[in-house]
Amino acid sequence: MDDRKKNRFKTSRRFFLGQAVTAAGTAIAAPKLLDSLSPTSTDQANAAMLSSQSEVGKVPITLKVNGQTRALTLEPRVTLLDALRETLGLTGSKKGCDHGQCGSCTVLVNGDRIYSCLTLAIMQEGNEITTIEGLAKGDTLHPVQTAFIENDGFQCGYCTPGQICASVALLDELKRGCASAITPNLSQTPKLSTVSSAEIRERLSGNLCRCSAYNGIVSAVQQSAGQSPPSPIATIVTSEELA
């Protein structure tokens, strides 16, 4: 294989994703541009898009992320998710739907879970932001991260950073006595030791998993809560044993 051919296959995953997103973005933007009836308004729209891409409008923003203070210069319209991924290089938080429907961008702000795609970076100044990158202590994983590994709490892994951040917050909410929509008695909220799988599923309903690793995810939360979830290893029963 000559060098040119080799290079054709050297497109990195991230570079490919960048190209793919750009192509999809063009497709989505097309109907919006078609709305403009005259060439003049299309020109105006293009001019507006260009000016918005310039340095004009950027403002200094200070964020506290995973214990570090980071000084940034961003447009006010940049979401926390985009600031984390595109500016700070913290690509653990994922962009799934970008509309608060999938949960893959979940991070912790002052300990509470939020969708980082549905808040502006500039609105989070002064708050303690924790992303998936901030959960482990050096090489020691957070217990919830360990539990996800030990219970097969994922398949492709794309939703996993969001699922883990959401689960860390969920456990804290249970300790603080937060209720859910299906808590039978609002004055007796579930304890970590007895929280049901139905409660865990309800409380994690803001995080979707298209691989449908939900059983493993629920087991991981149960283990993190101090319960003994069923083993993720399938039990194979032979016909002789059944007989």
Partner 1 sequence: MKSFTYQRAQSIQEATQKLMQARTEVIAGGTNLLDRMKVFLDEPDQLIDISRLSFNQIQPTSQGGLRIGALVRNTQLADDATVRQNYPLLSRAILSGASQQIRNVATIGGNILQRTRCPYYYDTGFACNKRKPGSGCPAATGLNRMNAILGASDQCVAVHPSDMCVALAALDAIVEIEGAKGKRQIPFTDLHRLPGNQPQFDTVLQPGELITAVILPPMSAAKSGVYLKLRDRSSYAFALVSVAAIVEISQNKIKTARLALGGVAHKPWRATAAEQFLIGKSVDDDTLQQAATLALQGAKPLAYNGFKVEMTKRAIRRAIGISANGGGLA
Using CB under 8 A, list all residues that contact partner 1: 31-32, 35, 48, 51-52, 57, 59, 75-77, 79, 98-100, 103, 106, 112-115, 118-120, 122-123, 166, 169-170, 173, 177-187, 201-203, 205-207
Question: Residue 129 and residue 88: Cα distance in Å, rounded?
Answer: 13
Question: Residue 218 and residue 200: Cα distance in Å, rounded?
Answer: 7
Sheet with 68-74, strands from edge to edge, namely 68-74, 59-65, 128-130, 106-109, 112-115
Residue number, 133 or 172, with CB nearest to partner 1: 172
CB of 215 to partner 1, least distance (A): 16
CB of 9 to partner 1, least distance (A): 35
Residue number, 149 or 175, with CB nearest to partner 1: 175
Residue number, 166 or 213, with CB nearest to partner 1: 166
CB of 112 to partner 1, least distance (A): 5
Name the strand (E) or helix (H) holding 171: helix 160-175
CB of 156 to partner 1, least distance (A): 21
Residue 84 DSSP label: I
Residue number, 106 or 160, with CB nearest to partner 1: 106
What does the radius of gyration of the chain's CA atoms come to, in whole angstroms? 22
Question: Residue 180 and residue 206: Cα distance in Å, rounded?
Answer: 12
CB of 48 to partner 1, least distance (A): 8
20: Cα separation from own chain's centroid: 20
Residue 87 DSSP label: I
Question: Residue 150 and residue 242: Cα distance in Å, rounded?
Answer: 29
Residue number, 48 or 149, with CB nearest to partner 1: 48
